[in-house]
Each structure stands twice: as structure tokens, then as C-alpha cells.
Amino acid sequence: MEERPKMPVGLQLLILLLLWMAGGDLLGGIFQTLWLQFSGVPLEEMDVTQPAYVLPATFCFQVGSLILPLLLFKRITQQPFFEFIRYKGKLSIKWIGITIGILVVGLLAMQGLSVINKGLENLIPDNPLIQYEYDVNELQNKLLIHDNWGLFIGTIALMAILPAIVEELIFRGVLMGKLMETSGGNLHFSVIVSSVIFAGLHLQPLKLLPMIFMGCCLGYLYHYTKSIKYPILLHFLVNATQIAALFFFGEVETQL
């Protein structure tokens, strides 16, 4: 059988980006339509801040913007799932310790970078993305500041575990790997570009610098450990730490 020509890397990255952009909106729209249909509540009266709505909506968005694009990308490019993702090998106590060290230093650095990043608000006043970010932060506070342990565990699963796994598979496993391939193995280019894309696609301009910084930490950790497991662990710990801070201590500024 004649071997099928390999799809150009640039086209693969474009497909991945388009799938990412379309998937979340698609499943999010389907969920909202079904919610309106079965709840019987008119759109203008719907409370989109209640956990009963936010958690399943978040799940649909995660599936649409993360899991579905990854599976479709694998199907379209016809690559074995782990051909472009390094995952083998047992977890090392040494690298777990280094990962926790990066977490501590990284969270402190991200707080400092967030102060610098605040200046963007003065440079681009009345920007709709900034207002969107404030709305997201307000929604997160309503969702995460409570004393319900069941809701806390569900939030950890949907906003820490799931995105940590799938975002690392996409941004470090696929995207960074493809950038390494197309740049002739240029590590710094691949880490920085994948981190900028990772931060930019979150549409949170006031967290841009902290997210680029953490994206770089995740990228270099992936490269030097040669395993996707450690970036997943770090990403989970960053998210879970900030969710736990909201749950136990009240309003704080989250970075991812």
C-alpha cells in the first residue's frame, strides 16, 4: 500500500488552532440550548453563576475545547496518539521534588508578574477582553468561595485535574513537539511560542505575563524530564493551589 504523504507541520498547527477555537463554543452552545430547553427558564432570567449551571457548562467547554480537538487532531493527521507525546517511565522522587520547588517559586514569581501586568489596563482602557476577564474573575469567586466540600471536590476535578491533563497534552505534547519539529529542534523558540499561544488563547490579558511565565516553566520541565507527567503534575498543583486558596481563605487573584 502506498504511504500517504505527511501533512505539513504548519497545516497541522492551523488545524489544531481552529479545532481549539471552534470546539468550546460549539459544545458550550449546545449545552446552553439544552439547558434552556429542559429548565424552562428564559435566557434573560437564567442565572449563569449558579454551580448547577457553571460546572456542567465548564465540563462541556473543557470537552469541546480540549478533549474533542485532541481526538479530532489525531484522527485528521492519522498519527498514533502517543507518537508525539512522551509519557513513559516511572515518576522520579527527584523530579517530583523539583516540580514542587518550581511550583513554590513560580507562584511567587507569577504574583510579581501580575503586578507588572496590571499596567496593561492603563494602556488599553475599556478593552472588552479586560471586562471579560473581570467577569470571569467574578464568576470564579462566586463558584469557588463557599463551604461546600462536594462542590470543592467537583471543582478540583473540572478546573484542576481535567485541564491539567488535556492542556498539557495539547500545548506541551502536541504544540511544543510540532514547533520543535518545524524549527529544527530550537528548544527556546518552541517553549516561548507555545507558552505565548497557551496564554493568549485563555483570553485573559491581565494574566498574560504570569501565564507565559508558567507556560515556559511547563515547557522546560517537559523537555528536561522527557515526560508529560511532570508538566501535568505542575499544572494541576498550580490550579489546585489557587482553587484551594479561594475555598479556604476567600478572595484571591488566580493566575490560570
pLDDT tens, 126-179? Answer: 667 677 677 777 767 777 777 778 888 888 988 899 889 988 988 998 889 889
More confident residue, 235 or 148: 235
Q: Which residues contact 58 (CB under 8 A, 6 or more apart)?
A: 158, 159
Compute the distance between CA of residue 166 and CA of residue 164 in angstroms, rounded to an integer.
6
Asked whether 64 and 32 are in contact (CB, 8 A), the reply is no
The residue whose grid cell reads 501535568 is: 232
User: What is the residue range of 26's domain?
Assistant: 9-249
The residue whose grid cell reads 502506498 is: 2
Compute the distance between CA of residue 33 and CA of residue 37 in angstroms, rounded to an integer.
6
Q: Does 2 reside within a domain?
A: no
Compute the distance between CA of residue 169 and CA of residue 67 in angstroms, rounded to an integer.
10
Q: Does 168 reside within a domain?
A: yes
Q: Does 107 reside within a domain?
A: yes
Compute the distance between CA of residue 180 and CA of residue 201 in angstroms, rounded to an integer.
20
Q: Does 125 reside within a domain?
A: yes
DSSP for 203-241?
A: T-GGGHHHHHHHHHHHHHHHHHHT-THHHHHHHHHHHHH
125 pLDDT higher than 70:
no
Asked whether 112 and 196 are in contact (CB, 8 A), the reply is no
Helix 128-144 to helix 229-249 angle, to the nearest 10 degrees? 70
Q: Does 254 reside within a domain?
A: no
Q: Does 73 reside within a domain?
A: yes
pTM of the entire structure? 0.84
Q: Does 15 reside within a domain?
A: yes
Q: Does 4 reside within a domain?
A: no
Domain count, the chain: 1
